[in-house]
Amino acid sequence: MLFPEIKQILYCTDLSKNASYAFKYAAYLSGKTGAKVHILHVVEKLSNDARITLKTYVMDSTSRDDFLNHRIDHAKDLLKHRQDYFWDVLAPSHKELREQVASVDVVEHYPAETILRRSKELNVDLIVMGAHEKGIMHTFLGSVAKNVLRHSRIPTMVVPIPEKEELKRQKEQRKKQNKG
């Protein structure tokens, strides 16, 4: 029986504090298969209403442009911080896998559409993304994963965020490992 090869993985992150849980799966699969990992974060494009509001309250076009550019810069900084935290704190014994990260991109557009387009452009064999916590953002954020699953012809892994008790147990386990 011939198994499918996984050579390229697209890991999509929303930069939430628990997003690293899904990245663990992308890193693990990369380590087992030798696949390259492409990291993608999509900053949601501002709606027309939001742009009109911005123009109404921020008259200076330079200030508006600075605000829009700051959104991307902030996301890039946060992604770098989250990656450093992952490799230095969560997976310090697997730093060699960091070499498997082939690209890190932050773009402004519509998330599901961008994920689908990038998966084709990069010719990935697997898309990995995290499920989202319940709450006020669940409907919006959940729709990204649903749209990707609905329209992708590429296998997609949606990793659920573990229960708070499991996250707490993992944190305590890391503390013990770091002491020993």
Confidence of residue 24 (pLDDT cuts 50, 70, 90): very high
Within a domain: residue 45? yes
Q: List, for residues 108-136, the tens digit of each pLDDT value.
A: 999 999 999 999 999 999 999 988 655 54
Within a domain: residue 105? yes
- Residue 69 belongs to what domain range? 8-179
pTM of the predicted model as reported, rounded to 2 decimal places: 0.82
pLDDT at residue 1 in the model = 67
Q: List, for residues 50-85, the tens digit of each pLDDT value.
A: 767 767 776 677 776 777 778 899 999 999 999 998
Within a domain: residue 23? yes
Q: What are the φ/ψ torsions at residue 89 (nearest 5 degrees)?
A: -110, -50
For residue 49, what is the domain's CATH number?
3.40.50.620
- As beta bridge partners, residue 158 has 129
Task: Assess contact for 167 and 130: CB atoms under 8 A.
Answer: no
Within a domain: residue 97? yes
Query: What total of structural domains would you count in the chain?
Result: 1
**Residue 168: is its pLDDT beyond 50?**
yes
Within a domain: residue 2? no
**Residue 101: is its pLDDT beyond 70?**
yes
Task: Assess contact for 86 and 13: CB atoms under 8 A.
Answer: no
pLDDT at residue 141 in the model = 46
Within a domain: residue 19? yes
d(CA 50, CA 108): 15
Structure tokens at 2: 């011939």
Within a domain: residue 1? no
Within a domain: residue 3? no
